Amino acid sequence: MIAKDIPLSLYVHIPWCEKKCPYCDFNSHILLKSIPEKDYVVSLFKDIDEDKNLTSGRKIKTIFFGGGTPSLFSASSIEKIIEYVDKSFGIDSNAEITLESNPSSSEKEKFKNFLKAGVNRISIGAQSFNDSHLEKLGRLHKGEDAISAVKAAKSAGFKNINIDLMHGLPQQSVNEAKNDLTIGINLGINHISWYQLTIEPNTEFYSRPPALPCTDELAEIYDSGMTLLAKQDFKQYEVSAFTNNGKMSLHNLNYWSFGDYIGIGAGAHGKITLPNNQIIRTKKIKMPEKYMTKPQFRNPSKPIFISELATEFMMNALRLKNGVPIDYFEKRTGCTYEEIEQKLLDLQSQGLIALDKKRLQTSEFGYRFLNSILEKF
Ligand SMILES: C[S@@+](CC[C@H](N)C(=O)[O-])C[C@H]1O[C@@H](n2cnc3c(N)ncnc32)[C@H](O)[C@@H]1O
Ligand code: SF4
């Protein structure tokens, strides 16, 4: 394992939203007055300064502005952050730079300026195009606003556009879920993230659960959605990720293939291989106000223990439909292949893993039982 050969990504967390959605357990906080944007950007710079020493001089391959709602920030702040990242680490000339945008804060002028600032991929949180479902999800926008947001991103010049859609929504029928996908596909975007709604602890939906479709209905929504996506040439490359032109999310791909990532901003996580080959996890202070006032942003870094490494690697790599090159296991964990060989051979004999000399991946059959496979590690 050579730390400087492991690809390095950067996640930037923007922790504010106009409203907290009842299903969301992300580190997002309601905006009471205006966003302390300038102070936050200064804090991000200091945060970068602290993490800079950990990365063995590697350049950044992908950047992801996630939230919360990064589209609430001005393009000039996003530009300043990108410039500072470039000055501090260097950014690869063909880096993918994604920004998450909420349809309630997406306008063409802003998109144009994001593009000028260096963002080259937009991810729009449509969730659904059905107004009644959007209302039940506590969203501030209508289906039309999500459609306008995609059109605005396209006419601003974005060529790489993702939409997030959720399925298995309260009282959603199979046809309604399919309709959401059809509207999304017809918008001419190249990437869809299609998530099943999960009820997370510490959310409003957890305290007051809505009536979700029953297990059979959920399975029918999933199967018919998968058929529809496949018919429209949207190829699944990860559990929830689909593309029709091969442009996968390079940032997420780096997570799933056990690359390194720095996480800056309130509550952001990182995973970094140090020059001495120890792999650590970083986590920043969660509350935005504390994050901005504390001189030290990093909670103590924690090493990832050898026993957890193989599990973590598998949890990520096997999510990918085509898996990963087999040598990534040793190159990115520092463990030896022998440590997992017997488990892999057992899974192969059950037809769940497709082992060859080059790749580590589940079989077509095994992909349907991903959770049971992961339990073995
Ligand atoms: C960081 S979040 C949100 C981005 C943006 N703030 C928005 O809401 O449009 C990224 C995505 O995760 C998905 N998501 C969030 N909570 C979820 C849940 N409980 N179940 C399934 N998907 C969820 C949503 O599709 C969401 O767009
Ligand atoms: S789903 Fe998006 S908009 Fe809603 S609270 Fe979470 S991060 Fe904010």
Map out the domains of the chain as residue ranges: 3-254, 325-377
Which ligand sits nearest to residue 166's alpha carbon?
1
**What is the average per-residue pLDDT within 96-123?**
93
118 lines ligand 1 (CB under 6 A): no
pLDDT of residue 109: 87
pTM of the model: 0.97
* Residue % of the chain over a pLDDT of 70: 100
Most confidently modeled range among 48-57, 222-231, 367-376: 222-231
Residue pLDDT, tens place only, 195-226: 999 999 999 999 999 999 999 999 999 999 99
Examine residue 351 and say whether the peptide bond preceding it is cis (omega within 30 degrees of 0): no
pLDDT of residue 108: 80
Residue pLDDT, tens place only, 259-282: 999 999 999 999 999 999 999 999
pLDDT at 297 over 90: no
Q: How far is the CA of 69 from the centre of ligand 2 (A)?
A: 7
Q: How far is the CA of 24 from the centre of ligand 2 (A)?
A: 6
**What is the average per-residue pLDDT within 117-138?**
98
CA distance 81 to 14: 12
pLDDT at 105 over 80: no
**What is the average per-residue pLDDT within 150-156?**
96
Minimal CA–CA distance to 58: which of 253, 268, 330, 262? 262
Examine residue 157 and say whether the peptide bond preceding it is cis (omega within 30 degrees of 0): no
Q: 132: buried, middle or exposed (CB in 10 Å: 19+, 13-18, 0-12)? A: middle
pLDDT of residue 113: 97
SS3 23: coil
Test site for ligand 2: of 16, 20, 21, 199, most ligand atoms within 8 A of the Cβ: 21
pLDDT at 116 over 90: yes
Q: How far is the CA of 102 from the centre of ligand 1 (A)?
A: 10
pLDDT of residue 73: 96
Domain 3-254's class?
alpha beta
